[in-house]
């Protein structure tokens, strides 16, 4: 996630002018400020809550994010049944449904075992969603909402 997270931040910086600083790259090509942000967030949680708490926090937030992301496969196929697909989802609808079910099981398990960390993860996701809605509403998007050639 230390490698993937900064790439997500970089794309957010490309899509939204308010987050444009996140797309800045170093001479070697890496998203420098995005990597620094990811590292600072990880170190802050590590210092504030400890290593085990960091892992449990990540467990909840990644499971929730992954479940929401994969669930969009069903939404998109229902809304745009004739859209061009860059790739087929193997075993659709069983494989994404199983993934979402297992992710939900991991979320419930996280809430059961560490409710306060799950709450912190839920708050993090809620703040992210609120920030996304705010950025969309005030028109800070720098790109079209459609990804070229995919209908997204």
| Per-residue pLDDT at 151 | 43
| Per-residue pLDDT at 49 | 83
Contacts of 116 (CB under 8 A, 6+ apart): none
Per-residue pLDDT of the chain (152 residues; tens, 9 = 90+): 667 788 888 888 888 877 888 888 888 778 888 888 888 988 888 898 888 888 888 888 889 989 998 999 899 889 998 888 877 778 989 999 999 999 999 999 999 998 988 898 899 899 988 988 887 777 666 654 444 444 44
| Per-residue pLDDT at 152 | 42
Radius of gyration of the chain (CA): 17
| Per-residue pLDDT at 46 | 87
- Tokens read off for 146: 């459609």
| pTM given for the model | 0.69
DSSP, residue by residue, 6-17: HHHHHHHHHHBG
Contacts of 55 (CB under 8 A, 6+ apart): none
Contact between 104 and 71 under an 8 Å Cβ cutoff? The reply is no
Contact between 124 and 132 under an 8 Å Cβ cutoff? The reply is no
Between CA 19 and CA 132 the distance in angstroms is: 11
| Per-residue pLDDT at 70 | 92
Contacts of 6 (CB under 8 A, 6+ apart): 30, 31, 34, 35, 37, 38
Alpha-carbon 11 to chain mean position: 11
């Amino acid at each position: 996630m230390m490698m993937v997270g900064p790439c997500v931040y970089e794309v957010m910086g490309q899509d939204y002018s308010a987050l444009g600083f996140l797309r800045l790259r170093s001479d070697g090509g890496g998203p420098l400020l995005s990597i620094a942000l990811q590292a600072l967030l990880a170190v802050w949680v590590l210092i504030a809550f400890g290593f085990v708490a960091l892992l449990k926090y990540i467990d909840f937030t990644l499971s929730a994010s992954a479940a929401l992301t994969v669930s969009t496969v069903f939404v998109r196929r229902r809304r745009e049944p004739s859209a061009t697909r860059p790739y087929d989802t193997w075993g659709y609808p069983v494989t994404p449904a199983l993934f979402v079910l297992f992710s939900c099981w991991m979320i419930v398990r996280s809430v059961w075992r560490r409710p306060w960390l799950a709450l912190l993860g839920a708050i993090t996701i809620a703040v992210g969603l609120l920030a996304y809605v705010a950025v969309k509403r005030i028109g800070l998007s720098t790109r079209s909402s459609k990804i070229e050639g995919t209908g997204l």
